[in-house]
């Protein structure tokens, strides 16, 4: 009888107009609890936990980290701090003004190489973390992509070939909707098992680039285990379902399935 009463209550509340504010509030709460729309700060988003995990798994061995979309260097600075030594960071930032900040902060640091990535780049202002190759309509959040500059980009496969890099320990991508294109430009490395970890952002910018989580899943799931990054850990994604298409910003981690064998 108690179970039947619960089922009746659910049927009464489900799909009813009067209860929509409740369901919408619970939906927002659930997204927040799953780390969607979380902090932009590396220290609070769960990205530090990932850096520490990778450092622990690698046992202090030399690391090669690609920070693609480095902005003003917050992430690269944390990598330097956490790994302390034996790390090489290749930091890429297409925005000229963000690159100026990045250079002032990291140029001359041991193990750090900076690259200024010609396509149109749109932004909301100087050193904007929302700078994107897509002219995003952001009126709904009170922003406008009022600035444009021309930037130069290159495929990761081509860059690594020119630099003689056959293996990347961590590829971090935060390029405001261009993440899938960046991964497609690293198809050779991915097929060759040349990347251990890939961290990529997914959210509202993917609406503008017309890319879906399914695209990432289909590209990566055969060679990588996929996870949603939490504040203190990882939530595994074992199969694709349409409910994963949530266009609220969050970071994902792809971990090579060959990693245990490589580290053995």
17 DSSP 8-state letter: G
Looking at residue 124, what is its pLDDT?
A: 58
Chain-centre distance for alpha carbon 49: 14
Report which of residues 40 and 258 the model is more confident about: 258
Instruction: Using DSSP, state whether 102 is helix, strand or coil.
Output: helix
What is the rounded distance in angstroms from the CA atom of residue 188 to the CA atom of residue 43?
A: 32
251 close to 200: Cβ distance less than 8 angstroms: yes
- Of 233, 234, 229, 221, whose CA–CA distance to 251 is shortest? 229
Tens digits of per-residue pLDDT, 219-260?
Answer: 999 999 999 999 999 999 999 999 999 999 999 999 999 998
Looking at residue 120, what is its pLDDT?
A: 54
> In whole angstroms, how far apart are CA 76 and each of 36, 108, 219, 243?
23, 13, 26, 32
What is the rounded distance in angstroms from the CA atom of residue 95 to the CA atom of residue 117?
A: 8
Tens digits of per-residue pLDDT, 122-135?
Answer: 555 555 555 555 45
- Of 121, 117, 135, whose CA–CA distance to 185 is shortest? 117
């Amino acid at each position: 009888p108690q179970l039947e009463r619960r089922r009746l209550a659910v049927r009464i509340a489900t799909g009813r107009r009067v209860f929509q504010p409740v369901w919408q509030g619970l939906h927002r709460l659930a997204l927040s609890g799953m780390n969607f729309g979380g902090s932009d700060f590396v220290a609070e988003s769960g990205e530090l936990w990932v850096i520490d995990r990778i450092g622990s798994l690698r046992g202090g061995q030399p690391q090669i980290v690609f920070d693609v979309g480095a902005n003003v260097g917050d992430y690269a600075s944390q990598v330097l701090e956490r790994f302390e030594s034996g790390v090489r960071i290749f930091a890429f930032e297409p925005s000229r003004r963000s690159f100026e900040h990045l250079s002032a902060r990291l140029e001359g640091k041991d193990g750090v190489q900076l690259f200024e990535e010609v396509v149109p780049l749109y932004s909301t202002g100087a050193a904007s973390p929302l700078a994107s190759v897509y002219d995003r309509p952001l009126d709904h959040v009170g922003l406008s992509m009022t600035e444009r500059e021309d930037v130069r980009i290159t495929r990761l496969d081509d860059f690594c070939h020119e630099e003689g890099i056959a293996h990347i320990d961590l590829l971090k991508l935060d390029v405001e909707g261009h993440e899938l294109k960046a991964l497609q430009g690293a198809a050779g490395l991915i097929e060759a098992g040349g990347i251990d970890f890939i961290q990529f952002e997914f959210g509202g910018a993917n609406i503008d680039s017309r890319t879906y989580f399914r695209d990432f899943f289909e590209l990566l799931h055969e060679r990588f285990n996929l996870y949603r990054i939490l504040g203190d850990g990882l939530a595994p994604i074992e199969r694709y379902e349409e409910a994963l298409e949530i266009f609220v910003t969050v970071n994902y981690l792809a971990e090579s399935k060959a990693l245990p064998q490589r580290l053995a």
